[in-house]
Amino acid sequence: QRQMLKAYLNKPTVNADGRAVGLYANIGKPEDAQAALEKGAEGIGLFRTEFLFMDRDSLPTEEEQMNAYRQVAALFAGKEVIIRTLDVGGDKEIDYLHMKKEENPFLGHRAIRYCLDNPETYMIQLRALLRAGADHKNIKIMLPLVTGLEEIRAAKAMLEKAKKELAAEGLPFDANAQVGVMIETPAASQIADLLAQEAAFFSIGTNDLTQYTLAVDRGNPDVASLYTHFHPAVLRSIANVIKAAKKAGITVGMCGEAAADPALIPLLLSWGLDEFSVSASAVLATRRTISLWSQQEADDVQAEAMNLSSVKGIQGYLASMIKK
Ligand code: PEP
Ligand code: MG
């Protein structure tokens, strides 16, 4: 199996018709970037920056953050590096931020909400991201847990302020860094057409999108059997986002675990997902799966699956269609 996958190492990611799609990796630490490159990732589709903030007792400085982001940008020079701004709260606690105990942390003051309300913390990260892109101009900034246009506009306003500051200080930065959003709430999925007015790209976060769409805690073993991206509500949601992105002419990727699921890949190919971002260990297997599907075959399976109405039916059908 491993030997077979090695054949896909220095190959482009194309479907059976030769159509190219992006195949990126998710990372959590700058040190993971090397392994992602060695495993054949064509870019970084999700750099979870929380790690930088965890297991320490004070906020990482602008310099520390810039160095971490720059390290990945340099390794992936000429390729895209999508860095997600701080996704705190929910299950991710950071003591020194003194976040309040909440009744419903996953519905609470987390991610972009926390950051916009704590501009002194967020500005440090935004400045570090802009500066880290100065050399290679390959960093894209991604906002987590967006539910509305206002959040994108507020974050972009802060970025403009950061650019003004950096320019006044004479520090080099990437003035054209793109700003995209994660689509991981039902609200974002439903208004994807509106969000596309302000977002340079989308990345579908199926881990949270599944949790919020189905009202099923992604970490609770007692409801784990209900947590599935094969629910027709999740599938329709994904299809809607990809369609909205296509219509608006922006790129759309997926960085949730679902992007590496061989049973789901034909649907994603049929809908026209531009970029798959998976863990480094899943890059080669995903490249292989993509290579096995022609557009026509993917379209046929997609149509058949979307005609089914139950999770069991859809999951069973898609599992039976996985190409060995
Ligand atoms: C997601 O929600 O799908 C995602 C990729 O982000 P995280 O798993 O870090 O919440
Ligand atoms: Mg998420």
**Among candidate residues 251, 289, 259, the one with its CA nearest the CA of residue 276:** 259
> Which ligand neighbours the alpha carbon of 234 most closely?
1
Residue 256 Cα: closest atom of ligand 1: 3
What residue has token string 């310099």? 63
Please list the residues that pair with 20 across neighbouring strands: 14
Residue 207 Cα: closest atom of ligand 1: 3
- pLDDT tens digits for 122-173? 999 999 999 999 999 999 999 999 999 999 999 999 999 999 999 999 999 9
Residue 170 backbone zone (phi > 0: left; psi -120 to 50: alpha; other: beta): left
Per the structure block, which two tokens stand in for 88? Answer: 């705190």
> Which ligand neighbours the alpha carbon of 144 most closely?
2
Ligand 1 centroid–CA 87 distance in Å is 9
Answer whether 268's CB lies under 8 Å from 22's CB. Answer: no
Ligand 1 pocket at CB < 6 A:
46, 48, 87, 184, 205-208, 255-256
Ligand 1 centroid–CA 264 distance in Å is 17
Name the amino acid, one letter, at 288. Answer: R
Ligand 1 centroid–CA 9 distance in Å is 26
Answer whether 33's CB lies under 8 Å from 76's CB. Answer: yes
Assign 83 to helix, strand or coil: strand
Q: CA separation (Å) from 257 to 60, 101, 282?
A: 28, 28, 10
Q: Is the ipTM of this complex over 0.90?
A: yes
The DSSP output letter for 279 is E
| Position 98 confidence tier, pLDDT thresholds 50, 70, 90 | confident
Assign 5 to helix, strand or coil: helix
Q: Give yes or no for residue 302 having a pLDDT over 80.
A: yes
Using the Cα atoms of residue 295, residue 296, residue 298 and residue 304 in order, give the sign of their dihedral.
positive
**Which of 44, 82, 182, 210 to mutate for ligand 1's pocket (most ligand atoms within 8 Å of CB)?**
182
Atom 9 in ligand 1: residue holding the nearest Cα: 48
| Position 235 confidence tier, pLDDT thresholds 50, 70, 90 | very high
**What does the CA dihedral 62, 142, 30, 115 come to, rounded to 10 degrees?**
40
Q: How far apart are CA 89 and CA 78, in angstroms?
A: 33
**Among candidate residues 177, 167, 101, the one with its CA nearest the CA of residue 139:** 177
Q: Give yes or no for residue 91 having a pLDDT over 80.
A: no
**Which of 208, 216, 218 to mutate for ligand 1's pocket (most ligand atoms within 8 Å of CB)?**
208
Atom 7 in ligand 1: residue holding the nearest Cα: 207
* Ranges of H-type helices in the chain: 2-6, 32-38, 50-53, 62-75, 111-117, 119-132, 149-169, 186-190, 192-195, 206-214, 232-248, 265-271, 283-291, 295-307, 311-321
Ligand 2 centroid–CA 1 distance in Å is 31
Atom 6 in ligand 1: residue holding the nearest Cα: 205
When pLDDT is averaged across residues 179-190 and rounded to a whole number, the result is 98
CB-proximal residues (5 Å) to ion ligand 2: 184, 205, 208
- pLDDT tens digits for 192-230? 999 999 999 999 999 999 999 999 999 999 999 999 999
